[in-house]
Amino acid sequence: MRHEIAAAAADEGERADRFLAGRIEELTRSAAAKLLEEGKVTTNGNIISKNYKIRPGDVLAVEIPEPELLAVTPQEIPLDIVYEDAELLVVNKPRGMVVHPAAGNYSGTLVNALMAHCRDSLSGINGVIRPGIVHRIDKDTSGLLIVAKTNAAHLSLAAQIKEHSFKREYEAVLIGSLRDDAGTVDRPIGRSERDRKKMAVTDKNSRPAVTHYEVIGRYPGYTHVRCRLETGRTHQIRVHMASIGHPVAGDEVYGPKRQGLPFAGQCLHARTIGFVHPASGEWMEFDSGLPEYFARFLTKLAQRGIK
């Protein structure tokens, strides 16, 4: 796959590997460095090294090889399927389940389960690693996820996400007491310069990100909110809420370490999705009740507030 990326004046002096990692989604700095070392990056027709310093007006041409084929093994893993037809299915993913295979997680993923359930009926647009996956949710986020069975359905659903017409609502418990009952966080998100495995609110090499929120309930030291995504950046809710001083409870990546909560991971649930069906043109909307870990935590918070 070929990418051409133009550098702006603000990028002057940045190392080529850092520049590319910030501009190409999911390309880590080490992966960018490897491409540079292999001579797969040029500017003005000349191969450049990872130490090359960006100059205003540079146009970097990047050749990213197609991913090596990986034999993803179908696994008979129980799935909570909310809806299914010939074009797509909606699944309620439990917390702790990885969506697609990656280093360290080649089995037990949602994709392994989908391949066993759907056999050959999955979109191939994202390749063998992510068949049918139109959008993702984090390993420790629970809730609804849509899966495309055909390429036509995949393209239609992806377009709706890009046009912001695909409805995605989450519920979360945040640390602290929000001042307002509703609001919007409109802050761009990109790779963190301090830790390339994390995302951050930044104006450098970022993309627009908008999250709307409203308070559902207030508890001592915590706030229960509903969040609606206008965009869908990696870790968007987690990053945005942390940026306003109220990280998601249990999130030890963007919030305090060792919070001592009765569950592992963040208290974040993808509750509602809505979309136009790719074949029928009908508006469809699905809701997933709060999972047991989330409801139990709210009950404990409510009990703390009783004097």
Q: Could you give the C-alpha distances from 60 to 36, 39, 54, 199, 216, in angstroms and in order?
A: 11, 12, 9, 23, 47
SS3 category, 34 = helix
Q: Out of 138, 140, 186, 287, which one is annotated catalytic?
A: 138
Residue 288 near residue 271, CB atoms below 8 Å? yes
CA angle 11, 13, 16 (to 5 degrees): 80
Question: Going by DSSP bridges, is the β-strand pair 88-93/81-84 parallel, antiparallel, or unpaired?
Answer: antiparallel
Whether 138 sits among the annotated catalytic residues: the reply is yes
The owner of tokens 């830790």 is 195
- Residues ≥6 apart with Cβ < 8 Å to 136: 99, 100, 145
Contacts of 22 (CB under 8 A, 6+ apart): 190, 191, 204, 205, 206
Q: Which residues are catalytic?
A: 138
